[in-house]
Chain A
Amino acid sequence: MDLTVLPVALGDYIGLSLVIFFIGVAGIALRRNPLIVLMSIELMWNAANLLFITFARVYMNNAGHIFAFLVITVAAAEAAIGLAIVVVVFRNAKNVDVDDVRILRG
């Protein structure tokens, strides 16, 4: 691990990543619009991406970069499927609100 390659301290990268991650978690927990929820999920995944890129630089190991691209690709597929499911669920509804989706009660 070579921390001198980073322009700012490693802790700052991790802190930023965690902040973005928990903004995503808060978005999922608090927002009621399914599109915002999907965006929040993307935020969580991309927070992890930031961490992968950081560690790839620290270790000079491009596996982290490859992982980040893999995550971006999978996230694109996930967004496509997610939007399709949102359209199917809310096709006949006037407005989109995840609180209206409650036939199944765990």
Chain B
Amino acid sequence: MIANPTTQVDWNGIAPIITIAVTALVVPFADLFARTHAKRWVAILIGGLGTLLAAGLCAQQYGSTGTVFGGAFALGGFTVVFEEIVLLALFGSLLLFATTMQERRVGGSVALMLWSACGALLMAGASNLMTVFLGIELLSLALYCLCGMNDRPASRESALKYLVLSSTASGFMLLGMALLFGASGSVALSSLTLGGLATSSFLWSGSALFFVGLAFKMSLAPFHAWSPDVYEGAPMPVTAFMSVATKAATLAVLARFLYAALPTGMSSAFLLPIWILAGLSMLVGNLGMLAQTDLKRLLAYSGVAQAGYLLVALAGTTALGLRYAIYYLVAYAIMNLGAFSVAAALSDEKEAGSALSAYHALASRRPYLAAMMSLFLLALAGLPPTAGFLGKILLLSTGVATGYWWLAVLLILGTAISLFAYAKIIRAMYARPDGKAQPELPVAPWPAMISIALYGIALVVMTFYPLTPSNIVPFVR
């Protein structure tokens, strides 16, 4: 007797993804019927409610274990934590649509961002190569379109650049996946853990190409060249989403691969190139920040460096390191969303808040926004009293404890360099007005102001609760 194929399908396991997908279908439909001046808020409201529902469904799966869809998607604490980070990025970025982007484009953009989040959620739980590929491409394809959503030529150009470079990186990753499939004869990540594969040349070359693809998506140096251009050209909510969700989802795939999929016999020399990339990213990212005049470009270089910091925690592939990496990732998500929220609050459709010159003497005109921006920049630099400080201490401690002291040294060095770039903005905000006529600042709606306050509070409160969920180590079956 042939078993009913639907008995293999556990829709509950991917309920958050389905929720987001359905929301993505509802948003453009509702956009059709909304009145002209309500389109913006209808899209944000529906998208936000869908995201909250998905976050609730996701949280319920925290204790569950096992896989669904024939081993394609893993459940459990690890998946849930990364899914919640992606949903946080999604919710925060949706709020940024309140001030930026033309009204008639908001509905489509929100829908595309929800689709993109679907891809990121898929990556969070992906436990075979097909799901990894599908997640990465769903995330990226929606982002290509989103990057070109503004009328500025720079926006369209960034879409083309991102498309060409990212697809090329996907090509390398795909070849790597084919070689990994050749090494084990199965697309499941778990089949790589079998003994006897550690010396397979297919596994070595395949993993190397796979890492190249992931390093590109995470914008690790020297594969970071796309990120400043794309971040600058893309609309502000898209940049905010891209900077957090892409990094979180890629880190989930990378951590699962490093912790759970690689054979136990692999030598540490095999992983050394990844840690070298991490060290290089910290230097290149922080040095690159110094010369920037655009906030989005600056945060792009900052993101390159932060990706390097995150990898320091994974360097020893210890369970503790992974928990610290997740802590820092949450902190990074909040401080990045906070910085972008302030920029969006100073922006209209033309995104004036993106230029660093807009922050000159901001404190005398918008003291609240200037103070919050300072807090977020201090957090990005890793200074107390913020979670950025505690996060960096944790990263340092695990780097030293696992013997990667040179990464810890580079982390401190990178932080010192980055202080110049962040302090420059803070000093400019608290400079005296120079008498020149400044352009009129837009008045941001109250939800934006409240969300900025919440980010600030969360950053400070997180320092008292180094939340380290314990059953977090990824597994593949």
Chain A contacts to B: CB under 8 angstroms: 1, 17, 21, 24-25, 28, 34, 37-38, 41, 44-45, 47-49, 51-52, 54-55, 58-59, 61, 63-64, 66-67, 70-71, 74, 77-78, 81-82, 84-86, 88-89, 98, 101-106
| Chain B residues, CB < 8 A from A17 | 175, 178
B316 at the interface (CB under 8 A from A): no
B182 at the interface (CB under 8 A from A): yes
Q: A37-B164, A59-B185, A64-B181 are in contact. Are A89 and B175 (CB under 8 A)?
A: no
| Chain B residues, CB < 8 A from A44 | 168, 171-172, 174-175
- Distance of B287 from chain A, by nearest CB (Å): 14
Q: How many angstroms between the C-alpha atoms of A98 and B128 in the bound complex?
A: 36
Q: Told that A44-B171, A52-B178, A101-B157 touch, could you supply 15 new A-B pairs with CB distance under 8 A?
A: A41-B164, A49-B178, A51-B175, A51-B181, A54-B182, A55-B178, A63-B186, A67-B177, A70-B130, A74-B137, A78-B137, A78-B141, A81-B163, A84-B145, A85-B160
Are B167 and A78 interface neighbours, CB within 8 A?
yes
| Chain A residues, CB < 8 A from B175 | 17, 21, 44, 47-48, 51
| Chain A residues, CB < 8 A from B177 | 48, 67
B389 at the interface (CB under 8 A from A): no
Are A104 and B229 interface neighbours, CB within 8 A?
yes
Of B3-11, B148-156, B270-278, the segment with at least 4 beta carbons within 8 Å of chain A is B148-156
B242 at the interface (CB under 8 A from A): no
B185 closest partner in A (C-beta):
A59
Are B232 and A81 interface neighbours, CB within 8 A?
no
Q: How many angstroms between the C-alpha atoms of A102 and B153 in the bound complex?
A: 10
| Chain A residues, CB < 8 A from B148 | 85, 88-89
A14 closest partner in B (C-beta):
B182
B144 at the interface (CB under 8 A from A): yes
B233 at the interface (CB under 8 A from A): yes
| Chain A residues, CB < 8 A from B133 | 67, 70-71, 74
Are B181 and A67 interface neighbours, CB within 8 A?
yes
| Chain A residues, CB < 8 A from B161 | 101, 104
Q: How many angstroms between the C-alpha atoms of A98 and B165 in the bound complex?
A: 13
Residues 215-235 of B, flagged 1 when their CB comes within 8 A of A and 0 if not, give 000000000011011001100
> 6 nearest interchain CB pairs?
A44-B171, A59-B185, A51-B178, A48-B174, A104-B229, A55-B182
List B residues 347-405 near A (Cβ within 8 Å).
none
| Chain B residues, CB < 8 A from A81 | 141, 144-145, 163
Q: How many angstroms between the C-alpha atoms of A44 and B177 in the bound complex?
A: 13
| Chain A residues, CB < 8 A from B212 | none
Q: How many angstroms between the C-alpha atoms of A24 and B368 in the bound complex?
A: 52
